[in-house]
A and B are shown apart, each in its own frame.
Chain A
Amino acid sequence: MATTTTTDFVSPEPSTTDNYLNNEKGLLSWLLTLDHKRIGVMYLFSVLASFALGGTFALLIRAELWTPGPTLPGVTADMYNQFFTLHGAIMVFLVIIPGIPAALGNIILPLQLGAKDVAFPRLNLMSYHVWILGACFMLLSLVLGAADTGWTFYTPYSTMTETAVIPAAFGAFVLGFSSIFTGLNFIVTIHKLRPKGMTWFRMPLFVWALYSTALIQVLATPVIAITLLMLIVERTFGIGIFDPALGGDPVLFEHFFWFYSHPAVYIMIVPAFGVISEIIPVFSRKPIFGYKFIALSSVAIAILGFLVWGHHMFTSGQSVLAGTIFSAITFLIAIPTAIKTFNWISTMYKGRIHLETPMLYALAFLWVFTIGGVTGMFLAVMSVDVHLHDTYFVVAHFHYVMMGGSITAFLGGLHYWWPKAFGRMYNEQLGRLSALVVFVGLNLTFFPQFILGSRGMPRRYYNYLEEFEGLHQLSTVGAFLLGIGFLLTAYGLLSSLRKKFDAPANPWGATTLEWQTASPPPYYNFATPPEVTQGPYDGYENLEYDEKIRGYVPTKA
């Protein structure tokens, strides 16, 4: 992009009244804001709070599994079912689906496009309030006798069980619309609000990722919405679409459910890919390798992701014909994903690697996501899946990709963009330490689960055979270590907010547009709409580190 003289924006002490955090005060100025950055910040704290709640349920689960049989006082097998249902539902619908797009994307997307806001700021605010409404229904379920069906709500159990399925399902239904509106907003923003000179192939890869994710959000989410609505109607009116006792078909429910929920996992991971694509070039001081391939592979994954849902249903009663088709296409999806991974590694090759916290998370991602992805291929093979379905192998696989993939990338992006969003640098030492603890914790939690699963430990089971106790205990220790890691991360980030604004406009020496405005930006983002004349990762050689401001500035001519 056109390099600007950044002296105008790089002020060690940005005015406390001219950035978006300080320009207005009061609760209503937040709750009724139309500023995408404030909406993003609200999402960020809401999502992190939900993560803490979902994580609490995770720790309850792991604690209960310390020994076979009843472990925690007062926790029955039925209650255990509620724990994993709530853990899953909260993590999927409240945390990881909104996650990167709503929290990081809302703050950063318009900035990366040099725009003043997203295309529909009021719709954006509505998305957030709809999220809150959905969260309230989820909490209502918790209070009214939490659902115990698993987050997948399979029929006929979900139409029969006495627990509060309807609030939970309705909550997820409402949350779906929050997701749809966010996706819709991002697609229009990317189509219509790009700056002069930013052709499609000069967009940052985070933007490509958000675009592909948004396509999935708009096309897939309505299907889960109607499915959950059908579930609620079935429970209330007994229409008999899914319940065999009424002549219905429970496998049909699974088809409906997974038609969304498989693309949903791509909603979870594709933005994470985008974050990694942003971090690696900057901290390797080298333009991304294979830009077009990474950009188009995001779109390919989005599309292919719609064709593989049956791989969740190999043992459900689905026909072998369908299973074969789904299995074959699932193999294909590994290809665009691998292309990305190879390109990231090639970017680092012969680069000058800087190991700040964001890069540590990106490196962790490469390791952990690859394990998660490859184990997905194990599960894609029908004959192997017959043994591994509904075992801890599956649990380990998806936690590796969701925790090791999405959450790791989320934390990396959070540290990367923290100075931009909040105007303060977090404590780097603490950041590195917590990254290490998180990495060790997550591997210790989930790697033993691969072994447990392949040896036959079923998932969603409260009780288990003695022989599994050792591995379960390893996993539980890992889980608590992971929790400590997250607490350290939270402390490291939040304590930085007590400082005065001290972040330069461009602490990392990145070349995308968001770094060309102050940290934090003024509410209108850019005084002058930027013009773009080069690719998003070109120009590292034109930036040099300035000790005085502890940030990067254009090299003097």
Chain B
Amino acid sequence: MADSKAPSQDAPHNHGLAHTTPVWLLVSILLVLMFLTVLTVAVTSFDLGAQGNLVVAMVIATIKAGLVVTFFMHLAWDKRFHAIALAAGVLFLILFLAMVGADRGEYQIDIDRHGEKYPFKVK
């Protein structure tokens, strides 16, 4: 049986327990996401230098991610703490990648020397 009672009195929004996303917005966001996907693929046909393509791809991916998070995942209308929690998680991810990547860059020379002495061969 449907739980069709009137919305709870203490709902902070004017309809129900949470904001309802309009359909036109959802569909528009999808179209933008599809366009960005096509763009990401199209960009690979241009040579933007060793790191350029990677940077562009990551920027576009982050824009897509931002749209998904803000609109599909509702953060635009949600409690701020959820966005803070997500941001904290992403921040720690970046911290982790950055520190490890930086350190690996510094000791890579040891790995290379080892690799030269004992080159890997598929058995």
B96: interface (CB < 8 Å): yes
| Distance of A307 Cα from B115 Cα, bound (Å) | 31
Select the residue from B99, B103, B104, B106 with max chain A CB neighbours within 10 A. Answer: B103
B96, B107, B115: which contacts A247 (Cβ < 8 A)? B115
A244, A306, A319: which contacts B103 (Cβ < 8 A)? A319
B92, B100, B111: which contacts A255 (Cβ < 8 A)? B100
Q: Are B106's CB and A247's CB within 8 A?
A: no
CB distance from A296 to the nearest CB of B (A): 17
A32: interface (CB < 8 Å): no
| Distance of A252 Cα from B111 Cα, bound (Å) | 11
- Interface readout for B107-123 with A: 1 if CB under 8 Å, 0 if not? 10011001100101000
Number of chain A residues close to chain B: CB under 8 A: 24
Q: Are B99's CB and A306's CB within 8 A?
A: no
Q: Are A219's CB and B103's CB within 8 A?
A: no
Give the residues in chain A near B120, CB-CB below 8 Å. Answer: 240, 245-247
B89: interface (CB < 8 Å): yes
The chain A residue sitting closest to B81, CB to CB, is A191
Q: Are B114's CB and A244's CB within 8 A?
A: yes
Please judge, given known A-B contacts A191-B81, A247-B120, whether A322 and B99 are in contact too, CB under 8 Å. Answer: yes
A249: interface (CB < 8 Å): yes
A317: interface (CB < 8 Å): yes
Give the residues in chain B near A247, CB-CB below 8 Å. Answer: 115, 120
Q: Are B110's CB and A322's CB within 8 A?
A: no
Number of chain B residues close to chain A: CB under 8 A: 19
Give the residues in chain A near B89, CB-CB below 8 Å. Answer: 219
A256, A307, A319, A325: which contacts B107 (Cβ < 8 A)? A319
CB distance from A483 to the nearest CB of B (A): 40
Please judge, given known A-B contacts A245-B118, A322-B102, whether A317 and B107 are in contact too, CB under 8 Å. Answer: yes
| Distance of A244 Cα from B116 Cα, bound (Å) | 12
The chain A residue sitting closest to B119, CB to CB, is A247
Within 8 A of B (CB), among A290-342: 306-307, 310, 317-322, 325
Q: Are B114's CB and A306's CB within 8 A?
A: no
CB distance from A69 to the nearest CB of B (A): 35
Main secondary structure of the interface of B (DSSP, over half): helix
Q: Are A321's CB and B114's CB within 8 A?
A: no
The chain A residue sitting closest to B111, CB to CB, is A249
CB distance from A520 to the nearest CB of B (A): 33
A223, A252, A259: which contacts B104 (Cβ < 8 A)? A252
B95: interface (CB < 8 Å): yes
Total cross-chain contacts (CB, 8 A): 48
B88: interface (CB < 8 Å): yes
Within 8 A of B (CB), among A227-252: 240, 244-247, 249, 251-252
| Distance of A301 Cα from B106 Cα, bound (Å) | 28
The chain B residue sitting closest to A318, CB to CB, is B103
| Distance of A325 Cα from B103 Cα, bound (Å) | 11
Q: Are A249's CB and B104's CB within 8 A?
A: yes
Q: Are B102's CB and A321's CB within 8 A?
A: yes
The chain B residue sitting closest to A306, CB to CB, is B92
CB distance from B109 to the nearest CB of A (A): 10
Give the residues in chain A near B88, CB-CB below 8 Å. Answer: 219
CB distance from A329 to the nearest CB of B (A): 11
CB distance from B79 to the nearest CB of A (A): 10
Give the residues in chain B near A246, CB-CB below 8 Å. Answer: 120
Give the residues in chain B near A251, CB-CB below 8 Å. Answer: 103-104, 107
Q: Are A223's CB and B103's CB within 8 A?
A: no
- Interface readout for B30-57 with A: 1 if CB under 8 Å, 0 if not? 0000000000000000000000000000
Give the residues in chain A near B96, CB-CB below 8 Å. Answer: 223, 259
Q: Are B81's CB and A322's CB within 8 A?
A: no
CB distance from A87 to the nearest CB of B (A): 29
| Distance of A247 Cα from B95 Cα, bound (Å) | 25
Give the residues in chain B near A244, CB-CB below 8 Å. Answer: 111, 114, 118
A240, A317, A321: which contacts B110 (Cβ < 8 A)? A317
CB distance from B45 to the nearest CB of A (A): 31
7 contacts between A and B (CB under 8 A): A219-B89, A223-B96, A247-B120, A255-B103, A310-B99, A319-B103, A319-B106
Query: Given A319-B103, A325-B99, 14 other A-B contacts at CB below 8 A?
Result: A244-B118, A245-B120, A249-B111, A251-B103, A252-B100, A259-B100, A306-B95, A307-B95, A321-B102, A321-B103, A321-B106, A322-B99, A322-B102, A322-B103
B residues bordering A, Cβ < 8 Å?
Answer: 81, 88-89, 92, 95-96, 99-100, 102-104, 106-107, 110-111, 114-115, 118, 120
Q: Ordered nearest first, which 8 A-B pairs have the shortest CB separation? A: A319-B106, A322-B103, A247-B120, A255-B100, A319-B107, A319-B103, A318-B103, A219-B92
